Amino acid sequence: MCKGVLFCVVLLVLVDSYASLRVKRQFFAPSEECVISHTDIDELVQLTKLIEGRKSSRKRPLNRNPSSPTQTTTDECSRKLGEFKVSIQDVLTRYSSMQKPSISANQYELLKAQQESELTDLMRRVDNLEREVEQRFRAEIERLRNSLQQLKRRLNDNLRLLEQEREAGRKAQEALCVEYIQGGNIEEAARIYRALNGTYDMARLTNDTYQMDADVVGSLVDFFVALQEDGQTFGTIGGYEMLYKLLERNNQLNRERSRIIFHSLVGLEHFYSDPLDIGRVETMRVKMINKLQSFVKGKVAGRR
């Protein structure tokens, strides 16, 4: 009886040990091999070369045969390389958008910041991948890293040239805007100023247009009025303040010019939402009222 019980106990222990060993073997079984092929990396490298000189090529490398093993595998390396491809394509698309002359300065700066962040993240992910893969694949990862570094350098060089061109174009538009105001072509001046999208500070424009020529006051005020519906956006009150300062400093604020400025200020506060700017409008209007009253007092005193 005892021998039978002992035999059963031994049998149960053996079965339990076998089951535990089987579970451990399954748990510690090597995962599917993470394979990185030359073709995988070559496709990414070719993508990084699509930016040559100032332009980004519209051509894209042909997709590999969908039935190829490296295309259909679902291992971690293939997934990460697929993410690299998407990120590089995003960089190329963003660069194409940055080249469009129609984008505003704010949009350009936003895209530039996104581009820098994406490229930094790409380099970090390459470093991480190199630490994760087997030694025999590291030469391919290094090839990808070198290609990404070259892409980053080309982009930086191209963006410097692009920004120089944008700056030159912006200055040319500013000069044309001033020329139109001085020539009395207010409609065209307003159109160009709107296209500059707030990059031309109103006080600076006023100073550039004035140039000690008091006869331009009427055109400048007409220009401010043409933009009054967007007064808050473009800060037209800054133009009034600068014009007043320049005229006062040069003793050119006569009665007629004061009258022109005052009448254009009437109701301007309705186009502003910022209480501080509304206060600036009211302050400027009070200054012009005081100036006009000084002419009346001076005229009365002269009669006496």
DSSP labels, 63-119: PPPTTSHHHH---HHHHHHHHHHHHHHHHHHHHHHHT-TTS-HHHHHHHHHHHHHHH
| Mean pLDDT (whole number) for 146-175 | 94
Supply the pLDDT for residue 153: 94
Residue 270 DSSP class: G
Supply the pLDDT for residue 90: 95
User: Could you read off the pLDDT of 2-33 as tens digits, one per residue?
Assistant: 555 455 544 554 545 545 544 443 333 334 55
pTM for the model stands at 0.70
Supply the pLDDT for residue 24: 41
Supply the pLDDT for residue 299: 61
In this structure, what token pair is assigned to residue 167?
């700056």
Supply the pLDDT for residue 191: 96
Instruction: Check: CB of residue 224 under 8 Å from CB of residue 237.
Output: no
Supply the pLDDT for residue 198: 86
118: confidence class by pLDDT, cuts 50, 70, 90: very high
Of residues 62 and 205, the one with the higher pLDDT is 205
Supply the pLDDT for residue 25: 37
Q: Which of 3-12, 231-240, 249-258, 262-271 has the lowest mean pLDDT?
A: 3-12
Residue 216 DSSP class: G
Supply the pLDDT for residue 131: 85
40: confidence class by pLDDT, cuts 50, 70, 90: confident
302: confidence class by pLDDT, cuts 50, 70, 90: low
What is the average pLDDT score of the chain?
83
User: Could you read off the pLDDT of 47-78 as tens digits, one per residue?
Assistant: 998 876 555 544 544 444 433 434 444 577 78
Of residues 206 and 24, the one with the higher pLDDT is 206
Supply the pLDDT for residue 12: 53
Supply the pLDDT for residue 30: 38
Instruction: Return the top range by mean pLDDT from 75-84, 131-140, 155-164.
Output: 155-164
147: confidence class by pLDDT, cuts 50, 70, 90: very high
- Please name the helix (run of DSSP H) or strand (run of DSSP E) that holds residue 238, with its range, or none: helix 236-249
Give the three-class secondary structure for 206.
helix
Of residues 218 and 131, the one with the higher pLDDT is 218
Q: Is the pLDDT of residue 251 over 80?
A: yes
Instruction: Check: CB of residue 224 under 8 Å from CB of residue 189.
Output: no
Short-list 285, 221, 227, 232, CA closest to 257: 221
